[in-house]
Amino acid sequence: MELIYLFLSLLALAYSGFWILGFLAPLRHQVQESIELACTPEVCWEKLTDFATYPTWQQHIKAVQELEPNLWEEDYGRWRLIFRTLEAAPPFLLARKIKDQGQGFGGEWIFQLEQTPFGTRLTLTEKGWIQHRLFRGISHFLLGHKKSIRRFQAALLASFTPPPLEE
């Protein structure tokens, strides 16, 4: 029984701690990461703008439904988010925004593609905000705001990597 009380006390302490840390973390954040891709900007652009195929290379996305041109919904299983394309300058600049539906967070992603001697450099900038103090504290101090960008870029990179040869 003491272990249960200890566990619940630690859980309450962690909850309170991250909630308090949420006061220290800014409401808005901006982070940026770059990766190198062995493809042309045009090929990368096609992959980024074909959101209907996102579930084939991003395992956390279960389905995508186009709602209207430049507006689509991504189904993550437990929740759904609606995105809108704000700006598109093929094949070098793409800006997207989460449509605010009262989910307590949002922002935009800006994709900048640059031709390099070996392919394409993709720089992804997130300009986001997190309303709830607990989630803001967890994101800022535990997970880091770059987690979503890094997961997206790792999936994108893997989608261009050929599978190993079978012997």
Per-residue pLDDT tens digits for 95-142: 999 987 788 888 999 999 999 999 999 999 999 988 888 778 777 777
Predicted pLDDT of residue 137? 79
Could you write out the DSSP letters of every residue in 49-90? H-GGGHHHH-TT--EEEEEETTEEEEE-SS-EEEEEEEEEET
Residue 136 included in any domain? yes
Tens-place pLDDT, residues 147-167: 999 999 999 999 987 665 565
Tens-place pLDDT, residues 9-56: 676 666 676 566 666 778 898 999 999 999 999 999 999 999 999 999
Predicted pLDDT of residue 1? 76
Predicted pLDDT of residue 101? 72
CATH number, residue 114: 3.30.530.20
Residue 141 included in any domain? yes
Residue 56 included in any domain? no
Residue 57 included in any domain? no
Residue 137 included in any domain? yes
Residue 114 included in any domain? yes
Residue 2 included in any domain? no
Q: Which of 12-16, 73-77, 87-91, 152-156 is predicted with the least confidence, judged by mean pLDDT?
A: 12-16
Predicted pLDDT of residue 12? 65
Q: Which residues contact residue 25 at a Cβ distance below 8 angstroms, ignoring those fewer than 6 apart?
A: 130, 136, 137, 139, 140, 141
The structure's pTM equals 0.84
Predicted pLDDT of residue 93? 98
Domain that holds residue 46: 24-50+83-160
Q: Give the number of domains in the chain.
A: 1
Residue 70 included in any domain? no
Predicted pLDDT of residue 166? 63
Predicted pLDDT of residue 164? 59
